[in-house]
Amino acid sequence: MKIALISDVHGNLEALEKVLRDIEKEGAEKIHFLGDAVGYGCDPDECVQLIKSHCEIKLMGNHDYAAMGLESIESFNQLAQTSIGWTQEKISKKTMSTLADLELDADFLDFHLVHASPSDPIAWQYLLNVSQAGPEFDHFNGSICFVGHSHLPTIFTQDNEGAVMKSIKDSWECAPDRKYIINIGSVGQPRDNDPRACYLIADIDARRMTYRRVEYDIKRTQEKMKKAKMPDFLIERLAAGL
C-alpha cells in the first residue's frame, strides 16, 4: 500500500494541484497532510478546501495556528508576519472553521505524524541537526515520525544503540531495527535550492520511502503574488527554492 505525505502547502495552489495529480499517477491510496495549509501564498481558501477533500489525516502547522489568532505573531519574522496578516484578512469563515478542525498530531499504523516536533507540537521547534532531532526520538511510539516545518527534506536515523545520524537520499528502504524522523519537504515553498514541489511517497509493505519532485507553473504563482502586492522576497524565493 502506498501512502502520500504532503506538508507546507502555504497557499500555493499551482504547486498543490500538480502534486495531487502526481500522487494519483503514483497510485497512492491515501494522502496525509502535515500542516501549514496557509501563509505566504495567494490561495489559502482553495488550498484548504483541496486539502480537506483529498487528505485523511490533516494536521495544524504554525502558520495555520497563527492565522486562527491562537498565537501572537511576534515570534514570526517580518515577512511571515506580513503574510499572516494578509491571510487573516483574505480567508473565508469556512476556511477558518476547517483550520479549527486540524489536529496537532496523529498516529497511523506504526507511524507518528506532527508538523514540527513530537515532544511538544505547539512549541514549533525546528529539527535541523542531530542535536535538535536526537532527544525527539524518545517522544513518539512506532518506528517513524514524519514531520514538516523546515521545508527541508531530511532523514534522521537512530540505530539500536541510540546513535543518531542525518542524511538525505531520494529513495531508500527503512531498516526494521532503526527509528526514523523524516522531514517530507514542502509542496508550496521548498527551501533546499530545488524549486520543484516536494512530497514523500511511503510504500508501507516494502518500507520504501521516495521523495517526489514535481514541476509546476512558478511564473503563474509569482504573477498572482505580484498582483496581490506580496513582498518581493516571498515572490522571488519560489523560483530559487530558498
- For Zn ion, which is the closer residue by CB, 147 or 174? 147
- Using left for φ > 0, alpha for ψ between -120 and 50, and beta otherwise, residue 203 falls in beta
Q: How far is the CB of 12 from Zn ion (least distance, A)?
A: 11
- For Zn ion, which is the closer residue by CB, 143 or 192? 192
Is 20 within 8 Å of 218 (Cβ atoms)?
Answer: no
Q: How far is the CB of 144 from Zn ion (least distance, A)?
A: 20
- For Zn ion, which is the closer residue by CB, 8 or 43? 8
Q: How far is the CB of 149 from Zn ion (least distance, A)?
A: 6
Stretch that binds Zn ion, among 4-12, 91-99, 210-218, 221-229 (CB under 5 A): 4-12
Question: What x-and-dash track marks residues 201-220 binding Zn ion by CB under 5 A?
Answer: --------------------
Q: Which residues pair with 3 in a beta bridge?
A: 30, 202
Dihedral of alpha carbons 234, 237, 238, 242, sign: negative
Pairing of β 197-203 and β 208-214: antiparallel
> Binding Zn ion by CB under 5 A: which of 22, 36, 64, 136?
36
- For Zn ion, which is the closer residue by CB, 124 or 140? 124
Q: Is 136 near Zn ion (CB under 5 A)? A: no
Pairing of β 144-147 and β 111-114: parallel
Q: Is 64 near Zn ion (CB under 5 A)? A: no
The C-alpha atoms of residue 50 and residue 74 are separated, in whole angstroms, by 29
The C-alpha atoms of residue 201 and residue 190 are separated, in whole angstroms, by 17
Q: How far is the CB of 222 from Zn ion (least distance, A)?
A: 18
Residues 6+ apart with CB under 8 A from 135: 119
Q: How far is the CB of 150 from Zn ion (least distance, A)?
A: 8
The C-alpha atoms of residue 191 and residue 195 are separated, in whole angstroms, by 7
Q: Is 8 near Zn ion (CB under 5 A)? A: yes
Give residues 72-131 in contact with Zn ion (rule: CB under 5 A): none
Total of residues contacting Zn ion (CB under 5 A) = 2
Q: How far is the CB of 64 from Zn ion (least distance, A)?
A: 9
Residue 173, all three cell numbers: 528502504
The C-alpha atoms of residue 190 and residue 87 are separated, in whole angstroms, by 20
Question: What residues line the site for Zn ion (CB under 5 A)?
Answer: 8, 36
